[in-house]
Amino acid sequence: MKKGFDSEKYLEEQSKFILERVNNFDKLYLEFGGKLIYDMHAKRVLPGFDENVKIKLLQKLKDKLEVIICFYAGDIERNKIRGDFGISYDMDVLKLIDDLRGNGLEINSVVITRYENQPAATVFINKLDQMGIKVYKHSPTKGYPTEVDTIVSDEGYGQNPYIETTKPIVVVTAPGPGSGKLATCLSQLYHENKQGRKAGYSKFETFPVWNMPLKHPLNIAYEAATVDLKDVNMVDPFHLETYGEITVNYNRDVETFPVLKRIIEKITGTESMYQSPTDMGVNRIAFGITDDEVIKEASRQEIIRRYFKTGCEYKKGLCDLDTYNHAKMIMEELELKPNHRIVVDPARAYSKSLSEKYGLDTAVPTMALALHNGDIVTGKNNQVMDAAAACILNALKKYTGISDEMHLLSPAILNPIIKLKTESLGDKTALLDLEEVLIALSISAAFNPIAQVALDALESIRECQAHTTVIMHSNNEATLRNLGIDFTSDPQFSSTSLFYGN
């Protein structure tokens, strides 16, 4: 896909604007929404966007900032999973700390929010403590959200311990939404002002894009990405009333703004400089857009991708019917069809032809992948490997010009792996998955130069699009993510087995 976004232009504009906002305060608490690192949603809807540009932004400001990471205790108890990495939120916190430190950024501490002695949260706190990470525990805020006098008192924010900070910019981030970032910022504002310092609050939220049309596909793609949160984009009524300008925000920020404004004014004892939720934001993402048509098409494709993702989550019982129906309504709003994704029809057609060939009533698991030149390759479950593994091998052959008849993997390598997997490790699934096949390919490459050619081509299929006719195993999903392949799946289980097939 063509590029439609200039990350360098955005980086310059964004860092300049944040520094301008900091000049209004002795210290600025900057709530960072969305993904701080590896923002793959932004990368997909903004072709040309560097998924780590926010880290580069913080690196430009690193002498002036430190980072606080928030984590809601309830997410630890529920073992909440981050969808793009397939890891739990507590592991994502550890990953985030490592990544931030690896990029030269100072981690102040981790705040466990709404902590009420939950057992799993306590274990995680002890783990962080043993790792030398400073941890603060914040209780649910008494009186929130209606009793402002209680909230802004020693019974409310005052019961939370003050987090010692030394830099003029304090970035408050989290592994996901609902982690308590705002409450942590306001609690700090309360303590800072009690100590006589002029501290302020601002919000960095990439989506929705405040200065783009409400029904722009880029903003609608944000709704598709947050159907589980029931977020709805809307015109900011406070901004419209105050300035006569149409800007876009989402329902949660609009709904909470009046209370938030009163809380800030109660804390500071002065009238807030913010007259709208839009005023609070510092996001300059729209200034990096160079080709609006490219952005629109990328956003439409992301909406379709999110539709498939929500369908699979509904099938697995991870979301409710209302959420899935909302995803379908978003598709209908833009008159999008599942087969507008280029790999959907080839995967389904191949599966149907195989079912007819073998006289089966059920779909044969298949996968289709579109190479960057537009060629479509497919793969199916066979006697040795699953559809994802077969498809990726076929894609590597196609890209490198290796004959389809050429066997890249010797039975001398495959058979011991299958035997180890099924006999020694007791795995009921004999088929090798994608990771196992790639490991076998790397072993073959040691003595087979053709296998080495195929292995070297892995980087060339990064950012390709794929679709499977069944829900993939989690290990295949993880491997495809690591390969940088954007995939979708039809919401159908691969077998009737309740455990081994799904």
| pLDDT interval class at 90 (50, 70, 90) | confident
pLDDT tens by residue, 301-329:
999 999 999 999 999 998 999 999 999 99
Amino acid at 65: L
pLDDT exceeds cutoff 70 at 80: no
Is the omega angle on the peptide bond into residue 177 within 30 degrees of 0, that is, cis?
no
**DSSP state, residue 257:** H
Q: Give me the chain's average pLDDT, please.
A: 92
Q: What is the mean pLDDT of residues 445-455?
A: 95
pLDDT exceeds cutoff 60 at 84: no
pLDDT tens by residue, 389-446:
999 999 999 999 999 889 899 888 998 988 898 888 888 777 999 999 999 999 999 9
pLDDT exceeds cutoff 70 at 500: no
pLDDT top residue among 87 and 399:
399
Percentages (nearest 5) of helix, strand, coil residues in the chain? 50, 15, 35
pLDDT tens by residue, 228-249:
888 899 999 999 999 999 999 9
Say what the pLDDT of residue 374 is.
94
| pLDDT interval class at 216 (50, 70, 90) | very high
Tokens of 149: 């006098």
> In whole angstroms, how far apart are CA 103 and each of 52, 94, 132?
11, 14, 19
> In whole angstroms, how far apart are CA 456 and each of 374, 442, 449, 453?
20, 10, 10, 5
Say what the pLDDT of residue 92 is.
85
pLDDT exceeds cutoff 60 at 385: yes
> In whole angstroms, how far apart are CA 249 and each of 54, 59, 246, 262?
21, 28, 10, 19
Say what the pLDDT of residue 497 is.
65
- Which DSSP string do the residues of 127-174 spell out, in sequence order? HHHHTT--EEE-PPPTTTTT-HHHHSSTTTGGGSPPPP--SSEEEEE-
Sorted by where each starts, the structural domains of the chain and their CATH numbers stand as 7-210+251-290 (3.10.630.10), 343-489 (3.40.140.40)
pLDDT top residue among 24 and 453:
453
Q: Scanning the structure block, which residue is given the tokens 């989290």?
A: 174
Say what the pLDDT of residue 132 is.
94
* Short-list 181, 79, 184, 175, CA closest to 123: 79
Q: How far apart (Å, rounded) are the C-alpha atoms in residues 443 and 317?
A: 39
Say what the pLDDT of residue 454 is.
97
CB within 8 Å of 84: residues ≥ 6 apart: 35, 38, 40, 41, 481
Q: Scanning the structure block, which residue is given the tokens 């809380």?
A: 263
Q: How far apart (Å, rounded) are the C-alpha atoms in residues 56 and 392?
A: 33
How buried is 53 (Cβ within 10 angstroms: 0-12 exposed, 13-18 middle, 19+ buried)?
A: buried
Q: What is the mean pLDDT of residues 108-129?
A: 94
Angle between helices 474-483 and 387-400 (to 10 degrees): 20
Paired strand residues for 172: 31, 68
pLDDT exceeds cutoff 90 at 486: yes
The share of the chain scoring above pLDDT 90, in percent, equals 80
Sign of CA dihedral 322, 326, 332, 337: negative
Phi and psi at residue 391, to the nearest 5°:
-65, -45
Q: What is the mean pLDDT of residues 71-84?
A: 75
Q: How far apart (Å, rounded) are the C-alpha atoms in residues 61 and 16?
A: 10
pLDDT tens by residue, 155-201:
999 999 999 999 999 999 998 788 999 999 999 999 999 999 999 99
Q: Tell how strand 465-468 and strand 248-250 pair up.
A: unpaired
When mean pLDDT is compared across 34-43, 192-201, 325-334, 373-382, the lowest value belongs to 34-43
Say what the pLDDT of residue 36 is.
83
pLDDT exceeds cutoff 70 at 268: yes
Tokens of 145: 């959200």
When mean pLDDT is compared across 25-39, 109-123, 427-441, 487-501, the lowest value belongs to 487-501
Question: For residues 443 and 437, is the Cβ–Cβ distance under 8 A?
Answer: no
H or E, element range at 69: strand 65-72
Q: Scanning the structure block, which residue is given the tokens 């087979």?
A: 448
Q: What is the mean pLDDT of residues 35-56?
A: 92
**DSSP state, residue 368:** E
Question: For residues 181 and 29, is the Cβ–Cβ distance under 8 A?
Answer: no
Q: What is the mean pLDDT of residues 328-344?
A: 97
pTM of the model: 0.90
Give the burial string for 106-143 (b: 16+ CB within 10 Å, else e).
ebbbbbbbbbeebeebeebbeebeeeebebbbbeebee
pLDDT tens by residue, 53-72:
999 999 998 999 999 999 99
- Which DSSP string do the residues of 180-218 spell out, in sequence order? SHHHHHHHHHHHHHHTT--EEEEEE--SS-TTS-TT-HH
Q: Scanning the structure block, which residue is given the tokens 């990726």?
A: 392
Q: How far apart (Å, rounded) are the C-alpha atoms in residues 345 and 465?
A: 13
**DSSP state, residue 423:** I
